[in-house]
Structure 1
Amino acid sequence: MLAQLTNVSLSFPDKKVLQDVSFTVYPGDRISLVGPNGAGKTSLFKILTGRLNPDAGAVSRAGGVRIGHLEQDLSDSASGHELTCMEAALEPFAGLIRLEKRLEEIAVKLGREGHASVLMEELGEAQRRFEDSGGYSFRARTEATLTGLGLPESLWDREVSGLSAGQRMRLALARILLEEHDLVLFDEPTNHLDVPAREWLEGHLKNSKVAYMVASHDRRFLDAVSEKVAHLDRANLSLYTGDYTAFRGQVERAEEEGWRRYEKSRKQERKLRRQAQDYRAWSEAGERAKRGAADKGFVSHRAAKVMKRSLVARRRMEEAAENARAEKPFEGDEIKIGFGPSRGRGLIRAEDLTIGYSPERPLAAGISFDLSAGERLAVTGPNGSGKTALLRTVLGEVQPLSGGAGVSPTARVGYFDQDHRLPARDVTALEILRGTGDETLARTVLGRMGVRRETVSKPASRLSSGERAKVLLTRLVLGDNDLLVLDEPTNHLDIETQDVLLGALEGFPGGVLFVSHDRHFVDALATKTLRLGIT
């Protein structure tokens, strides 16, 4: 056992997060932690590390256990910004670097003083410790890890303060992987990773002997790295064996069985209630017979006995009907969006397009494609290959370096960018959506997207990044658009919300041009794909 929770409960002022959760992590475990945004996954990780105390229950950790934690928030990520990227990545090997310097000092002394026995003995001992601790491979491991996570050699000498937020997150992930741990808790490790980096991380984790728990909304990644799934939902945690796809299958079968039990119980309940009504009718008939036979004692006595038996039987039937009632399985509100027809077929045309922000450094060249109503084009490629630049060039925000691209002048365009720009900071989420028409439908879609009821009345300035993304996506889906241009629409969305968005976009009659690193989302939505490579 590495860590264990026993009957742990946690509440915040506005919600219950965990209720009597019991859970054990063993050496070698490979666990995916899944659940809707806000379910309490980050809180569970903090409880496991000891940074958050539960309201009730016990937390146990093995003596001397080393727990690493990759957080979504970089504010606590350790290294000083005055270090270079490589210096920060090498910090886990500070002891080896000191030993390496000592070896160099001994070698210099030996060169000056000759082969003194004391120095030779110290050198031999230092070399053994250096080799046993991986001293001859730690630099190569560090370089391979940085490269695999999308931090190329050109960034290694750059100060951490000069890295982008995504690059700093990848650096924090690299450090966690290079440190010595018994258990690692990864909170959204695939954020800011392109597909090659995600695949590299999958391979690294599959070959690792370290136990880990991963919270991620990339189901393809979860399938690759997990052997168990811990599902956290409505304050309860359930453990399943298998990868994410196996978990979904088990949950769906359990839901189907739950509905079968519910429908069977409804039939049984109706049958028992009909029988109870029959007994009620018999008892009422007996009461009438009793009153009508006042001068015939034997009839009155018999009627009383029948009435008494029928009352007892009726109560039993009513109790049985109550006991037969099964709990109705949870179901979200069904969404039916009545899309209007798309106006026009041809929406985008690009011919021999070269894109970039300066002629000296083009990002991609020779791009040609058409997009018509009913088509959904996924733009894929590694970070830095020009995916966002292509979207902005097509929309006219950035001029092409050569060639041409444009949108049909009659097309109405909805654009979702990575900055989640809102129309105004003081309007509420609901006011942003009022222009889409059906307010009830807007509230329903927001609810299915995971936006809580009280959030719709918040000013836009107080919304989190994830809440802003969901409001904007809802506005685009419900708006009167012919073309949707979406840059990383699944960022900040949990898997359940991704499925809601996917279902809405699959029914959209216009065209969709989108960028995503989520392989399942791309495979499920795209009717064609354009892959960009670094020039």
Structure 2
Amino acid sequence: MGTISLQQAGHRAGDLLFSNLNLVIADGDRVGLVAPNGRGKTTLLRAMAGQAELSDGEITRSRGLTVGYVPQEVPESALTLTLAAFVASALDAATLDNEGWRVDVVLDEMAIPAEFRDKPLAELSGGWQRMALLARAWVTQPDALLMDEPTNHLDLGRILMLEEWLGYAARNLPVVIASHDRAFLDAVTNRTLFLRPSEQVYLPLAYSAARAELDQIDAAAEAQREKDLKYATQLRKQAAKLTNVGINSGSDLLVVKSKQLRDRAEKIETQVQEVHRDRTGLVKLGNSGAEARVMMAFENVPVATPDGRPLFTVDKLHIFQGDRIVLLGRNGTGKSQFMRVVTEALAGSVPSGMRISPQLAPGYLDQALAWLPLDPSPLDYLLHRFDEGDRRTIALLAGAGFPPDRQSRPIRTMSLGQRARLALLALRLEKPNFYLLDEPTNHLDIPGQEQLEDDIREQGATTILVTHDRAFLRAIGTRFLLIERRKLVEVDSPEDFLEAQAALDR
């Protein structure tokens, strides 16, 4: 039986990230590790894998336990390796000589096409790099599996394949998965660890059920806190009255009694627990508004690959103000090319048959964040791009979760989650009324995703969205366009498409 045990585990990196973590993860435990960006998930996973040290407590692995660790990114030093060579590099020379066949078996198991296996990782997409990381961990035949954001960069078909694979290949192992993909966590986990600075919450439930239970726990804690503080206030009022009466009457007994009440109130206030809240900063996207009813219209607009190969034609489509359109389709059907046509049209290259309202003010967010410069600091970047002034820019960054000392460091030193939050702030300052969002939840933590959902719904800005995040598209979409059999058709709901995807990938 393989186990990973944590005793009083905790870690500080300037701030306290987590503490007092005591649990045993055993065979068959599939744990979802949930926390906002920068709160120690990766540190904890690396420590459990034996690749990092925590500042407090101990982590014990059962004797002889082999751990497969799937990090978020391929190391830069490995990008020149072919995919197959990268997977093989997890094995020592003796194993590779005697059991080199294991590499091909795992690549087949992960359904990695033969034409990709001999390509350098640097030439492959983030999704295929992710599959290479998973294959490299699995080829060691691990007794436990630790995965850091495994669905990032994967399309929906690959996510569904990964869900099914975890269900049979790793069902009897200890598995820990750090992820912001709520639907994925619901599908593959049976326990949830909410990582917090003080007391941790570990529940024998998948994410959504655990989140509902956590909300009840937090609500009860808040109610108890308010009750305790109210009682402490009453004690202090009684103490003040007794003090006045004691002084006026010269009664030392009443003065002593008053002090006892104050001491009691102070003890209650000291013991009252501050209710945990995930403070990751708020961006609050807006909507600059428009009077036009139709923001964009298509009539017989062809969509093709960059080299001119036709994919489909948009026969007739009107995008009305306030529509939140989700684009559906299997990988390779043309979602990205449709988004490219729209992006180029918004930049001024409008194809024949397409009309754009002159009132449309676009805002674009892509999954790679390639337009975000890495050398300047967040403060310098926003000051040079937007005319908001020093004080307001500093305040906006602080409100978005960037404390003053973080605002002056180069963007390249920030995590991908922090870069995504900065990109959203820049998007807000563009003051758009039309959002074009390509995989916007990549790198956003769950509080950030929920905030983005709320902003888009509440502000009413027109939106075109491509996403593999099922929870996000269900929360956002009001219209659904499906690319299928070289046609773009509107469907009532995404559910038939999602069910068909799941059936195809079984």
TM-score between both structures, scaled by the size of structure 1 = 0.78
What amino acid sits opposite 2:8 in the alignment?
Answer: N
Match of 2:428 in 1: 477
Q: Is the 8 A contact 2:286 2:428 kept in 1?
A: no
Q: Is the 8 A contact 1:8 1:20 kept in 2?
A: yes
For the residues of structure 1 that align with 2:140 and 2:349, how far apart are their CA atoms?
44
Q: Is the 8 A contact 2:283 2:428 kept in 1?
A: no
Q: Which moved more, 1:502-511 or 1:367-376?
A: 367-376
For the residues of structure 2 that align with 1:241 and 1:354, how far apart are their CA atoms?
51
What amino acid sits opposite 1:485 in the alignment?
Answer: L
Q: Which moved more, 1:376-385 or 1:260-269?
A: 376-385
Q: Which moved more, 1:517-526 or 1:230-239?
A: 230-239
Match of 1:321 in 2: 265
Whether 1:269 aligns to 2:269 is: no
Spell out the pairing of 1:341-490 with structure 2 (5 A cutoff).
341-358=289-306, 360-366=308-314, 368-396=316-344, 404-420=353-369, 421-422=371-372, 425-426=375-376, 428-429=378-379, 432=382, 435=386, 446=397, 449-460=400-411, 462-490=413-441
Match of 1:17 in 2: 17
Give the secondary-structure state (helix, strand or coil) at the position aligned to 2:16. strand
What amino acid sits opposite 1:458 in the alignment?
Answer: R
The CA deviation at 1:191 is 1.0
The CA deviation at 1:251 is 1.3
Match of 1:280 in 2: 243
For the residues of structure 1 that align with 2:121 and 2:357, how far apart are their CA atoms?
43
Q: Is the 8 A contact 2:82 2:119 kept in 1?
A: no
Match of residue 182, structure 1, among 121, 140, 143: 143
Match of 1:46 in 2: 46
What amino acid sits opposite 1:205 in the alignment?
Answer: L
Give the secondary-structure state (helix, strand or coil) at the position aligned to 1:348. strand
The CA deviation at 1:203 is 1.3
Q: Which moved more, 1:62-71 or 1:500-509?
A: 500-509
Match of 1:73 in 2: 73
The CA deviation at 1:414 is 1.2
What amino acid sits opposite 2:48 in the alignment?
Answer: L
Give the direction of change, closer, same or farther, for the CA distance of 1:441–1:386 in structure 2 (3 Å limit): farther
Give the direction of change, closer, same or farther, for the CA distance of 1:96–1:533 in structure 2 (3 Å limit): farther
Unaligned runs of at least 5 residues, structure 1: 102-134, 288-306
Give the direction of change, closer, same or farther, for the CA distance of 1:62–1:416 in structure 2 (3 Å limit): same
Q: Is the 8 A contact 2:283 2:424 kept in 1?
A: no
Spell out the pairing of 1:285-304 with structure 2 (5 A cutoff).
285-287=248-250
Give the direction of change, closer, same or farther, for the CA distance of 1:440–1:224 in structure 2 (3 Å limit): farther
Give the direction of change, closer, same or farther, for the CA distance of 1:77–1:209 in structure 2 (3 Å limit): farther
The CA deviation at 1:524 is 0.4
For the residues of structure 2 that align with 1:160 and 1:379, how far apart are their CA atoms?
29
State the Cα RMSD in Å: 3.6
Give the direction of change, closer, same or farther, for the CA distance of 1:83–1:517 in structure 2 (3 Å limit): closer
The CA deviation at 1:34 is 0.9
Match of 1:299 in 2: none
Give the direction of change, closer, same or farther, for the CA distance of 1:33–1:259 in structure 2 (3 Å limit): same
Give the direction of change, closer, same or farther, for the CA distance of 1:237–1:34 in structure 2 (3 Å limit): same
Deviations 1:480-519 (A, max 9, x none): 2221111111111110111112211112232111221111
For the residues of structure 2 that align with 1:459 and 1:100, how far apart are their CA atoms?
45
Give the secondary-structure state (helix, strand or coil) at the position aligned to 2:200. strand
Whether 1:312 aligns to 2:277 is: no
Q: Is the 8 A contact 1:355 1:400 kept in 2?
A: no
Give the direction of change, closer, same or farther, for the CA distance of 1:251–1:441 in structure 2 (3 Å limit): farther
What amino acid sits opposite 2:309 in the alignment?
Answer: R
Q: Is the 8 A contact 1:279 1:314 kept in 2?
A: yes
Give the secondary-structure state (helix, strand or coil) at the position aligned to 1:466. helix
The CA deviation at 1:260 is 1.1
What amino acid sits opposite 1:145 in the alignment?
Answer: M
Deviations 1:373-402 (A, max 9, x none): 211111233333332322221132699998
Deviations 1:273-314 (A, max 9, x none): 221122112112213xxxxxxxxxxxxxxxxxxx11110111
Give the direction of change, closer, same or farther, for the CA distance of 1:244–1:226 in structure 2 (3 Å limit): same
Give the direction of change, closer, same or farther, for the CA distance of 1:393–1:93 in structure 2 (3 Å limit): farther
Match of residue 130, structure 2, among 162, 169, 175: 169
Q: Is the 8 A contact 1:429 1:460 kept in 2?
A: no
Q: Which moved more, 1:490-499 or 1:407-416?
A: 407-416
Whether 1:499 aligns to 2:447 is: no
Unaligned runs of at least 5 residues, structure 2: 487-506
Deviations 1:181-215 (A, max 9, x none): 11000111101111111111111112232221101
Whether 1:2 aligns to 2:3 is: yes
Q: Is the 8 A contact 1:71 1:186 kept in 2?
A: yes
For the residues of structure 2 that align with 1:502 and 1:180, how far apart are their CA atoms?
40
Q: Is the 8 A contact 2:68 2:144 kept in 1?
A: yes
Spell out the pairing of 1:153-302 with structure 2 (5 A cutoff).
153-156=114-117, 158-207=119-168, 208-234=171-197, 237-287=200-250
For the residues of structure 1 that align with 2:306 and 2:80, how far apart are their CA atoms?
32
Give the secondary-structure state (helix, strand or coil) at the position aligned to 2:187. helix
Give the direction of change, closer, same or farther, for the CA distance of 1:495–1:441 in structure 2 (3 Å limit): farther
Equivalenced residue count is: 476
Q: Which moved more, 1:397-406 or 1:15-24?
A: 397-406
Give the direction of change, closer, same or farther, for the CA distance of 1:63–1:460 in structure 2 (3 Å limit): closer
Spell out the pairing of 1:20-39 with structure 2 (5 A cutoff).
20-39=20-39
For the residues of structure 2 that align with 1:10 and 1:100, how far apart are their CA atoms?
39
Give the secondary-structure state (helix, strand or coil) at the position aligned to 1:221. helix
Q: Which moved more, 1:463-472 or 1:252-261?
A: 463-472
For the residues of structure 1 that align with 2:456 and 2:21, how far apart are their CA atoms?
37
What amino acid sits opposite 1:317 in the alignment?
Answer: L
The CA deviation at 1:268 is 1.4
The CA deviation at 1:70 is 0.4
